[in-house]
């Protein structure tokens, strides 16, 4: 009898652990853009309102419950690849001027960062930590560490390749609660983790279409600073991984249907809210995430 009771207890706890590891997404609203719109990035706020950056029109429009509440348009915003909010300012990936621009809350430019070395600087994403900006330089296959005060590039890591600390078109970035950087490699078909001092940490994923594999990983985001979400720009699905890089599942809605997009670019998380930018689908979907502890 004791053995049977222990077996039931063990199975119950395994079920609880499995269920706790499952993350589901409930759609709050979807913004479908029209015409030649090119949604490139999104900023999701703590109340689920979301700003959408349209690289075609050079506009940034804030939506609340799916309805536009205000919009700002700037000529220099046309053609960029990222618009990242950090505190009271924004970082803009300016692929026309080959700079990473700092913008006010009203989207006025007040400072710019350049690249270093040969090749035009091609920023596609950035994160801020400890007074530094870390940016993905896509065309030059590297990551830059730039001092926010002096604007000097203090360190770089990378170069074309598939070995440790090499990159093959790094695209999106995230930083966990331990200060480790996550970098998606669109053609390297993996996510590489490096420390803020540019020491190798580990690889997550490899080429393929099976569980834990990627065909073209693009947008990445972290839930609670530790669960990694990876959007695939080709297969259109979102996979998620635990803090050790172990595959946990494919993101589904509460009915168990797999979320599917035409071509994921950036993804952003704020608290329990996830914004997914679908470039080819010309849309941004906002979800509430449930299940992860």
- In whole angstroms, give the CA distance from residue 57 to residue 291: 37
pLDDT at 126 over 60: yes
pLDDT band at 129 (very low <50, low <70, confident <90, very high): very high
- The per-residue DSSP string of 56-71 comes to TTTEEEEEETTEEEEE
Average the pLDDT over 1-20 and give the result.
32
**118 pLDDT tier (thresholds 50, 70, 90):** confident
Angle, CA of 238, 85 and 242, to the nearest 5°: 35
pLDDT (mean) for 277-286: 98
Asked whether the predicted pLDDT for residue 217 surpasses 70, the reply is yes
Q: According to the model, what pLDDT value does residue 4 have?
A: 34
Other Cβ atoms closer than 10 A to 217 = 29
pLDDT score for 293: 62
Q: What is the mean pLDDT of residues 180-186?
A: 98
Give the model confidence (pLDDT) of 78-112 as tens digits.
999 999 999 999 999 999 999 999 999 999 999 99
- Evaluate whether 291 touches 23 at the Cβ level (below 8 Å): yes
* Cα separation of the two ends of the chain: 33
* Average pLDDT value for residue range 55-79: 97
User: Across all residues in the chain, what is the average pLDDT?
Assistant: 91
Percent of the chain exceeding pLDDT 70 equals 93
Q: Of the given ranges (1-10, 32-41, 124-133), which has the lowest mean pLDDT? A: 1-10
Query: pLDDT confidence of 116, banded at 50, 70, 90?
Result: confident
Centre a 10 Å sphere on the Cβ of residue 128 and count the other Cβ atoms it contains.
16
SS3 at position 86: strand
Res. 5 pLDDT band, cuts 50 70 90:
very low
pLDDT in tens, 141-178: 999 999 999 999 999 999 999 999 999 999 999 999 99
Domains of the chain: 2-290 (2.120.10.30)
Give the global pTM.
0.91
Here the tokens at position 233 are 């720009």
* Strand ranges across the sheet with 83-86: 83-86, 89-94, 99-103, 109-113
Q: Can you say whether the dihedral through the CA atoms of 85, 90, 91, 93 is positive or negative? A: positive
Q: What is the pLDDT of residues 192-212, one digit of tens each?
A: 999 999 999 999 999 998 999
The pair of structure tokens assigned to 206 is: 């490899």
Which pair of tokens denotes residue 229? 């979400």
CB-count exposure of residue 78 (10 Å: 0-12, 13-18, 19+): middle
CA atoms of 141 and 184, how far apart (whole Å): 11
Q: Which residues contact 251 (CB under 8 A, 6 or more apart)?
A: 23, 24, 25, 229, 237, 238, 239, 240, 258, 259
For residue range 231-274, what is the model confidence (pLDDT) as tens digits? 999 999 999 999 999 999 999 999 999 999 999 999 999 999 99
Contact 37, 57 (CB under 8 A): yes
């Amino acid at each position: 009898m004791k053995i049977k009771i222990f077996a039931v207890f063990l199975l119950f706890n395994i079920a609880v652990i499995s269920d706790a590891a499952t993350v589901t997404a409930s759609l709050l609203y979807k913004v479908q853009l029209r015409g030649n719109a090119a949604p490139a990035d999104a900023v999701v706020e703590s109340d689920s309102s979301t700003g959408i950056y349209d690289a075609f029109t050079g506009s940034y429009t804030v939506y609340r419950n799916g309805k536009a509440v205000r919009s700002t348009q700037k000529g220099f915003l046309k053609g960029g690849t990222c618009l990242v909010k950090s505190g009271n300012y924004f970082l803009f990936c300016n692929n026309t001027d080959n700079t990473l621009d700092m913008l006010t809350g009203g989207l006025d430019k007040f400072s710019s960062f350049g690249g270093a070395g040969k090749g035009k600087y091609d920023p596609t994403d950035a994160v801020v930590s400890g007074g530094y900006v870390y940016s993905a330089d896509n065309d030059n296959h590297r990551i830059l560490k730039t001092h926010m005060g002096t604007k000097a590039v203090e360190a770089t890591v990378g170069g074309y390749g598939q070995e440790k600390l090499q990159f093959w078109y790094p695209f999106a970035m995230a930083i966990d609660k331990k200060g480790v950087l996550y970098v998606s490699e669109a053609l390297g078909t993996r996510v590489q983790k490096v420390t803020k001092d540019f020491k190798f940490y580990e690889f997550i994923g490899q080429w393929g279409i099976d569980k834990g594999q990627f065909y073209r990983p693009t947008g990445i985001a972290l839930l609670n600073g530790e669960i990694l979400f990876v959007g695939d720009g080709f297969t259109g699905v979102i996979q998620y991984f635990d803090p050790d890089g172990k595959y946990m599942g494919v993101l589904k809605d509460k009915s168990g249907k797999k979320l599917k997009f035409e071509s994921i670019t950036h993804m952003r998380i704020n608290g329990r809210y996830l914004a997914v930018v679908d470039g080819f689908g010309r849309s941004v979907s906002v979800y509430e995430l449930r299940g992860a502890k």
